Each structure stands twice: as structure tokens, then as C-alpha cells.
A and B are shown apart, each in its own frame.
Chain A
Amino acid sequence: MTEMSTTAFKDNVTRALADDKLQFAMTETGPRFIAKRTKAREALPEFDQLRDQARDIKDHVLDHLDIYLETYEAKVKEAGGHVHWAETPDEARAAVLEICRKANAKMVTKGKSMISEEIDLNKHLEENGITPVETDLGEYIIQLRNERPSHIIAPAVHLTRDQVEADFRRVHTHLDPKRDLTEIPALVEEARAVLRQKYLNADVGITGANFLIAETGTSIIVTNEGNGDLTQSLPKVHIVLASIEKLVPTLEDATTILRVLARSATGQDFSNYTTFSTGGRRPGDPDGPVEYHVILLDNGRTSVLGTEFQDMLRCIRCGACLNHCPVYNAVGGHAYGWVYPGPIGSVVTPALVGIENARHLPNASTFCGRCEEVCPMRIPIPKMLRHWREKEFERHLQPTSQRWGLGLWAFMAKRPRLYRKATAIAARVLSNQAVGKGRLKKVPLASGWTAFRDLPAPQGKTFHQLWKERRP
């Protein structure tokens, strides 16, 4: 598993921009997500009203989170399930390992879970002699590659089919070299056959949770492949990994948010499989897990409550902000260097790993606002990115040159007479250098600009100079 590389953002970006396969994958798939969402949204006139309600539901939960957590816990216990509270990734990993050990687990199947990535669970299980098998196709592929997901809902979106074929041929040693795997359905069929045996043989199934319902003590997973259901239905033990902000009050509230989730994520009206799980096997149940455990993880989320960053806890991890982000589409998810990429990742990551370790992320945005425009939970992402920049500024984390440049500019801009003189000189100097060309190929201290583009030259005099001349 790749380690955290948020501080190496610039290097990651350089690598990503030079990666032809990545660039091909991003160019091909990015627009597909956008077109699908647009179609789903246009087919549901109430969509934007549902977004408002979804936001209000989560705001209400966050304002009463302590009570909802307690209520939820009591309901899980009532249904025969177990709740394990974890402040840190360490505690969460330990809780999972203990449950696996009690079950004498050798192999665990896993549905898609961002919390599992956040706590780096697979590595921990492997170190302790337990084999984790990712069953979501995208997660399975990146597990074979020892990579992190590059997208919240499409973990292997950075890869092309020929890369997947190469990985399958490398790992699935049973494969006949003559078998044609050039088409995507053949790759899916191969994964289906291999994973089918894993589901049937697993000792423990681990899934994430899209929501936790306080009213009933229920966890919800949303998938299209059916892998999550096979993961949680066949083994004797089901472990749910969830963070504390996943709470919603009632079935009705979960339903409202589900109506915006799939549409925002994949452009489906509803995902193929939406599964509500409450406790373990009941008397008379011929199948299903005997034990049902929920790990409730904090990992820094409580430190966001009550701050200007609280709104990020409304996030339902649909990935719409990634799909619509021109920066994400330029560099892919791995450049962000940790678990959560894209606009929401640039908000969440500094909160979970510290702004001093992730200062580039909130800066790598043009504030184009498309993320906020599409967010089903109406999270003001640009605003929160700006709040991170404020923290960065307060703590003097920016490079000195940048700080000085900004300081000098602000000093002038606050003194209109001085500013007039300085801009008049700058405009004249720059335009003189560009006589007959209208643009400059190189400008001192502006290599960031002129690396890829010319600088259009000033026309000569400033507007204020000309205004005085023409309208004395």
C-alpha cells in the first residue's frame, strides 16, 4: 500500500501529467460520469429540492449527533449486534483483528469501504496472517496492483483495460495464455469466477456503510455489483466499518438521501443493490451472518464539529465533485496523496492529517465552483478550501516568496496614489518590451505564467491615466 504523499503533491502532479495512460483514462471516463448525472438529474424535477432536504437532514443530525449515536448503539444491541467505538485507526484495526481472531478467520472478503482505506486495514490483516480479498471489481484490481483507489466510487478509474488484463495475467496463474481478455466483459467474467470462490470460502465479511439509521440500528450499503451482499451474507461474521457522521435519523431520511446519492454518483435513479442490515441471523434464518459488528470510527471527525469546517461531515461520498472537477480530471486521484481525492478530499484530508501535511491540496483549486454546484449535500467546498488557506496563512505555512509578494501587493493596493504610480510604471515597462508583438515570452518572476503561455502585454497607459487625459 502506498504511503501518504500529500506533501509531495507537486511531484505527484508532475508524474500524473506525464502519465499517458492515466491521461487517456481520465479524458475518456471523466465526461461519461458528467453526462450520466446530467441525464438523471434532468429526469427528476424534484432533484434540487431533495438536495435541500438532504442537507437539512444531515445538519439536524450533526446538531444532535451525541443523542443519535447513543440511540443508534442501543438499537444495534437490541437487534443482537455489537458496536465497537474507535477513536483512532489503531483502535479500529485492533477491534477488527480481534473479531477476526475469535472467528478463527484465515480469509476475509471485503466490500468497498473508504474507512478501510482510511485505517489501512488490509496491511494490518496481512501482517497478522489474515488474507483480505477486495471484492468490488475496481478495488480488486487495485489490490492486485498494490495501489490506493484513485476515486471514491470508481477506484480503478485511472486504469485502462489493457492494464487490467496485464494484472489478471500476472496474478491469475490459471489463465490460459490463449484466452482472449481484450474486451471488458471478458475481464469482468474472469473476476467474477475468481471471486465467487472467495465469497463462498471467506470466514468474515467486511463492508463499509453508506448510512447508519438511528431509528432501527441499521447499516446501509449501496452497490451495483452485488459484491457487498455476497460479502456480508455468506460468511459467519459481518463487520461494518463506519465513521460517526454516517448517522441519519429514520428510514424516511435515509430514503431521501438515497434519492440523490446514486443520481449524483453514477447517474442511476437508484443503485442496483441497496441493502439494509440490522443485527445478525434471527431464529429461523436459513442464511446470513451469525454475528454482526459495527466499528464506529472517529479519527478526527469530532474535531471538525462546531467549526467552520463542519459542513464537510455532510458528505455522502458520491464522487460528483471529483467527476466535475477540472483539476481532478487533469491529475487523477493518486496525485492527492491520500485516501480522499478531489475537491472534497482537499477539504477532508487537511482535517484528518493536518494542514501542515496537506497545504497544497486546498491551494490546488481555481475556485471554479463546479463542485459546490453539483454536490448533492450542498457542501460549500470552495468556501472551506478558502478556510484552509486562511489557516495556512495564519500559521505562516506558505512559501516566503509567495507571502512577501502578496504582502507587497497588498501594501500598494491599500494606498491608491502609490498604486496608481506603480501600475503606470509597470504597464509602461512591460508594454515597451512588447512593442510590435503585443505579448511577452519571458517575464522576470513570472515563470509560472510564461512556462506554458505568453503574457499579453499591457496596452501602454493605465485606464486611470487615460481617463484623466480624456475626461479631465
Chain B
Amino acid sequence: MPETSPRVGLFVTCLVDMFRPSIGFATVKLLEDAGCTVEVPELQTCCGQPAYNSGDQADARALALNVIEAFKGFDYVVVPSGSCGGMIVKHYPEFFEPGSTEHDEALDLARRTHEITSFLTRVMKVEKVEAQFPARATYHDSCSGLRELGIRNEPRKLLASVEGVSLREMTDAEVCCGFGGTFCVKYPGISDKMLEKKLRHIEATGADTLIAGDLGCLMNMAGKLKRQGSAIKVRHVAEVLAGDYETPPIAEAE
């Protein structure tokens, strides 16, 4: 753990900002509990992934430059999403010509940027969190966090330290839930078939709570679970680690 209190910029992500600020606040709590000073740069909007994945390089690049600008000077940038984290860490540097100032800055940002659970465990060397959360939970590995950032044990390790959480693994935890950003609205039938398989594996665990690290995947899975009338509660990993069981689960009012 760094000796002085690291200055962390929170990259909220556009989905958390608009749909579920409680994830952002849970993330802030986790960072502050770990001894960080947290700031939220006003300039940030979206990481640019929708543009990037739609083949719109110019806008993706413009948004990347905006994020680079917004997070200059922070010791670390922390994101409650493996997907936006992967975008910054893996893809931003590819936008710019090696040797250019922008490329250097993108690499610098990539080095400073971390997904929340991996930041806590890898950088801040957090072994456990002080939280309570009653849940028979199962954890879904979101694709980008898993395959772009190698996040697998980090959330599980921290979740195991939460008082009241018991984890049971689902079959194919590492298989995509069918979200895929604009994919799920462009090809809803395929997305639904993938989601159907995913929900079968979730339900087979007997868990009462589904946890993952990306709000996009969570909204996808929660949206269908609730459409089907399932009682399974859906939560972001940061909320559980922060012990925020008072905020209603995703897609629920109470």
C-alpha cells in the first residue's frame, strides 16, 4: 500500500452516472476506506466505447482525448467497470501513433487506470473489506474485465471477506451474458438466447443474489430476470463490498 494517501480520480462511467449512482458512491466508499483521496473530474462523460465498437474512430478518439485530459495529474484512475477499464487500458493506446504526445499520454493513463476490485487488491493490497451483506451469491465474470484485464480472483477474494456473503460458482461463469453494448439491441434474438442460457446457469446455483462488475451486463441480466418474475436480486460488486444493502437491487423499487 502506498505510504501517502493516493489521489484517485473516479471514472464514473456513463451507465453508472445515469442509471445507478449508488455504484459510484459505493466505489468512493471503498476507495476512501482503503485510504485514498477521491475526486470526480467534471469533464468526464463516456469512455467512447459505443463509438469505437461502431467503427466510428474519429469520435472514439475525440472522447479518449477528453478522458485523457480529464484525468491528468491523478495518481490513479479507478473505474467500477472492467469494460470501460479495458477500453482505457487496452484500447486508448492503439488510437495514437507510437511516439506522439497523445500516445505517450494514453499509455500514461493506461498505466494509472484500474478496475475497482483489482485496484483494491493489486495496488492498495486490500485483503478484506469491513462490510456485512446477507447474500447467497453467484458471480458472473464480465468479458472485458476477465479477458482484457485478467480479473477473476480479485472480486471473489474480496466478496469472500464480506460478512454474510456465501459464494457459489455457476457453470460457464466466464461466458458472455449477451449484452455486448449495442449488440443487444441490434440482435435482440441472439442476445436473448445467450441470456437465457446464462440465466439457467444462474438459477441452477440456487443463489438469491447475482453479482457482477459491469453495470451493462447487470442491467441485461436483471432486465430479463425481472421480466420472468425471478426473485434473484442483482447487484454490482462494489455495492456488496461497500455493504450497501439498503439501496434497492437493480430493476427493483424496494
**By DSSP majority rule, is chain B's interface helix, strand, loop, or mixed?**
helix
Residue of chain A at shortest CB distance from B86? A369
Task: Give the most central of B16, B54, B148, B254: most A CB within 10 Å.
Answer: B54
Map CB proximity to B onto A369-398 as digits: 1 under 8 Å, 0 otherwise.
110110000000000001011111110001
Is A438 among interface residues, defined by CB-CB distance under 8 A?
Answer: yes
Say whether, besides A326-B175, A416-B45, A455-B219, A367 and B53 are in contact (CB < 8 Å).
yes
Q: Tell me, in angstroms, the Cα distance from A456 to B252 when the chains sit together.
A: 8
Say whether, besides A364-B183, A453-B227, A386 and B176 are in contact (CB < 8 Å).
no
Q: In the bound complex, do residue A413 and residue B21 qualify as a contact, i.e. CB atoms below 8 Å apart?
A: no
A42 CB to nearest chain B CB (Å): 16
Residue of chain A at shortest CB distance from B198? A326
B236 CB to nearest chain A CB (Å): 11
Q: In the bound complex, do residue B45 and residue A456 qualify as a contact, i.e. CB atoms below 8 Å apart?
A: no
Is A182 among interface residues, defined by CB-CB distance under 8 A?
Answer: no
Contact of A413 among B12, B46, B185, B226 (CB under 8 A): B46
Say whether, besides A326-B178, A436-B253, A452-B224, A409 and B21 are in contact (CB < 8 Å).
no
Q: In the bound complex, do residue A390 and residue B55 qualify as a contact, i.e. CB atoms below 8 Å apart?
A: yes
Is B98 among interface residues, defined by CB-CB distance under 8 A?
Answer: no
Q: Tell me, in angstroms, the Cα distance from A389 to B49 when the chains sit together.
A: 13
Contact of B57 among A14, A390, A398 (CB under 8 A): A390
Q: In the bound complex, do residue A366 and residue B183 qualify as a contact, i.e. CB atoms below 8 Å apart?
A: yes
Q: In the bound complex, do residue B187 and residue A13 qualify as a contact, i.e. CB atoms below 8 Å apart?
A: yes
Map CB proximity to B onto A41-68 as digits: 1 under 8 Å, 0 otherwise.
0000000000000000000000000000
Say whether, besides A393-B54, A449-B223, A456 and B186 are in contact (CB < 8 Å).
no
Query: Which A residues are CB-close (under 8 A) to B206?
Result: none
Chain B interface residue count: which class? 35 or more
Residue of chain A at shortest CB distance from B253? A438
Is A224 among interface residues, defined by CB-CB distance under 8 A?
Answer: no
B174 CB to nearest chain A CB (Å): 8
Query: Which A residues are CB-close (under 8 A) to B21?
Result: 459, 461-463, 466-467
List which B32-77 residues lie within 8 A (CB) of chain A. 40, 42-46, 48, 50-57, 59, 62-63, 66
B23 CB to nearest chain A CB (Å): 8
Query: Which A residues are CB-close (under 8 A) to B227?
Result: 441, 452-454
Residue of chain B at shortest CB distance from A399? B186
Among B108-116, B124-132, B160-168, B189-197, the stretch that binds chain A is B189-197
Contact of B190 among A13, A427, A449, A462 (CB under 8 A): A13
Residue of chain B at shortest CB distance from A325? B176
Q: Tell me, in angstroms, the Cα distance from A427 to B14 when the chains sit together.
A: 11
For the A-B complex with A394-B55, A434-B253 known, give 5 more contacts whose Cβ atoms are closer than 8 Å.
A17-B189, A368-B175, A410-B51, A456-B226, A457-B251
Say whether, besides A368-B176, A459-B19, A330 and B54 are in contact (CB < 8 Å).
no
Is A193 among interface residues, defined by CB-CB distance under 8 A?
Answer: no
Is B78 among interface residues, defined by CB-CB distance under 8 A?
Answer: no
Residue of chain A at shortest CB distance from B234? A456
Q: In the bound complex, do residue B195 and residue A453 qualify as a contact, i.e. CB atoms below 8 Å apart?
A: yes
Q: In the bound complex, do residue A330 and residue B190 qualify as a contact, i.e. CB atoms below 8 Å apart?
A: yes
A365 CB to nearest chain B CB (Å): 7
Query: Which B residues are CB-close (under 8 A) to A178?
Result: none
Query: Which B residues are CB-close (under 8 A) to A452?
Result: 188-189, 191-192, 195, 224, 227
Sample (30) of A-B pairs whose CB atoms are under 8 Å apart: A366-B184, A367-B143, A368-B147, A368-B175, A393-B55, A393-B57, A394-B55, A406-B50, A409-B51, A413-B59, A414-B45, A414-B62, A414-B66, A439-B252, A441-B227, A448-B184, A448-B185, A448-B188, A449-B184, A453-B220, A454-B227, A456-B219, A456-B226, A456-B250, A457-B251, A459-B19, A459-B21, A462-B21, A463-B12, A463-B24
Q: Tell me, in angstroms, the Cα distance from A389 to B40 when the chains sit together.
A: 33
Task: Give the most central of A392, A434, A441, A458: most B CB within 10 Å.
Answer: A458
Map CB proximity to B onto A430-447 as digits: 1 under 8 Å, 0 otherwise.
000011111101000010
Q: In the bound complex, do residue B190 and residue A327 qualify as a contact, i.e. CB atoms below 8 Å apart?
A: yes
Q: Tell me, in angstroms, the Cα distance from A451 to B185 when the chains sit together.
A: 9
